[in-house]
Amino acid sequence: MKPLLTLLFAVFASCIAWSTANSQTIAPPDRQIDITVDDLPAGAANSMSAAAITEMTAKLLATLRQQQIPVVGFVNEGKLYKWGEVDERIKALNMWLDAGFELGNHTFGHTSLNKAGLKDFEESVVRGETVTRLLLAQHKMKLRYFRHPYLDTGRDVETRRDVEAFLVTRGYRLAPVTLDAWDWAFARVYDDAKKRADTAVQQEIVSAYLSYSAAMFDHEEKLSRDLIGYEPKQIILLHANQLEADHIGELFDLLRKRGYRFITLEDALSDQAYGMPDTYIGEEGTGWLERWAITRGRPPVGAPVFPPAIAQRSKALPPPPGETPAGGPANP
């Protein structure tokens, strides 16, 4: 090669090398997220045996411990009372504390404040404390977090504020939600496929769940930046189900690739975003980014569409016995 050509080639090659190295070293932004898991001991507890709940819990907790993810699990104590299984179900719940995690209250009966009256709702809050308080005390911890079932916080401002004041007097902090990819809706069809040992459909559901999660994260991260100028410490809503027990590690991989670090709920709540005005009231519970946007008169648009194939599979299933969809709108 002639000297000039050699030189040009060398410059060209080094440019390529520089740009490749650069594109490889572009780090994702530093993001923080708290993981919360609702409907303990299990979303589908009414149709599961205590042994199945224990097995599912052990699998879920193994990943959470191994990856050192701080988690608060929110309990529906009503799910503990199945004839002949109460002790075993309480033990499954206690596994969370033994593994170093924290428990919060999610009402006794997964009660919607938008459907129940104020008195019934408050009763469900108090009744939902009994066992959890006891277990926490044994671990030298206090009950300090509350999560509204369905994220329903009241259909009018007065009810909403009354309940918030009531919860404060009982020592609770509310646990908001900013990220929610409706894992409960995928979990129902996943359970069905697993029962039928249909591994192809299970894999299809897991892929759809992770894709929908990624689309939802894109949407909420952008909404964060557009609305408040930065991405707050996010709080994600997940549920105690077989889908998460089997695949939560893949969700964590996805989050890490996006630059997320895992933090406690207490740390997340220290973000000033959670002190922003929120006057949202409505028939449907919704996430807090949406609430802040609506409060500012800028209802968000462009949320990702729930995968129609999964919705169709879900519709084809018989309604679960005595179960209620856990968190989020009743229909995907």
Of the two residues 39 and 221, which places its CB atom closer to Zn ion in the complex?
A: 39
In the region spanning residues 35 to 74, those forming contacts with Zn ion, defined by CB under 5 A, are 38-39
Instruction: Tell me how far, at minimum, the Cβ of 237 lies from Zn ion, in Å.
Output: 8
Residue type for position 148: H
Question: How far apart are alpha carbons 119 and 137 in whole angstroms?
Answer: 27
Select from 15-23, 83-91, 147-155, 202-210 the region that touches Zn ion (CB under 5 A). Answer: 147-155
Q: Is 326 in the site for Zn ion (CB under 5 A)?
A: yes
Question: How far apart are alpha carbons 107 and 11 in whole angstroms?
Answer: 67
Of the two residues 154 and 327, which places its CB atom closer to Zn ion in the complex?
A: 327
Of the two residues 38 and 204, which places its CB atom closer to Zn ion in the complex?
A: 38
Instruction: Tell me how far, at minimum, the Cβ of 324 lies from Zn ion, in Å.
Output: 8
Residue type for position 117: G
Select from 167-175, 259-267, 272-280, 321-329 the region that touches Zn ion (CB under 5 A). Answer: 321-329
Q: What share of the chain is helix, strand, coil (3-state, %, to 5)?
A: 55, 10, 35
Q: What angle do CA 195, 200, 204 make, to 5 degrees?
A: 100
Instruction: Tell me how far, at minimum, the Cβ of 309 lies from Zn ion, in Å.
Output: 25
In the region spanning residues 211 to 250, those forming contacts with Zn ion, defined by CB under 5 A, are none
User: Strand ranges (DSSP E) for 175-298?
Assistant: 234-239, 260-263
Instruction: Tell me how far, at minimum, the Cβ of 77 lies from Zn ion, in Å.
Output: 13
User: Strand ranges (DSSP E) for 51-150?
Assistant: 71-75, 102-105, 145-146
Of the two residues 110 and 144, which places its CB atom closer to Zn ion in the complex?
A: 110
Instruction: Tell me how far, at minimum, the Cβ of 295 lies from Zn ion, in Å.
Output: 24
Closest residue to Zn ion, judged by C-beta, is 326
Question: How far apart are alpha carbons 313 and 254 in whole angstroms?
Answer: 25
Size of the site for Zn ion (CB under 5 A): 5
Instruction: Tell me how far, at minimum, the Cβ of 26 lies from Zn ion, in Å.
Output: 38
> Phi then psi for 204, rounded to 5 degrees?
-60, -40
**Hey, what are 300's tokens?**
């968000």
Residue corresponding to tokens 């490749």? 20
Q: Is 327 in the site for Zn ion (CB under 5 A)?
A: yes
User: Among the residues of 229-286, which ranges form H helices?
Assistant: 242-257, 265-269
Select from 32-40, 160-168, 173-181, 310-318 the region that touches Zn ion (CB under 5 A). Answer: 32-40
Nearest alpha-carbon partner for 227 in 304, 175, 294, 153:
294
Q: Which residues bind Zn ion (CB under 5 A)?
A: 38-39, 149, 326-327
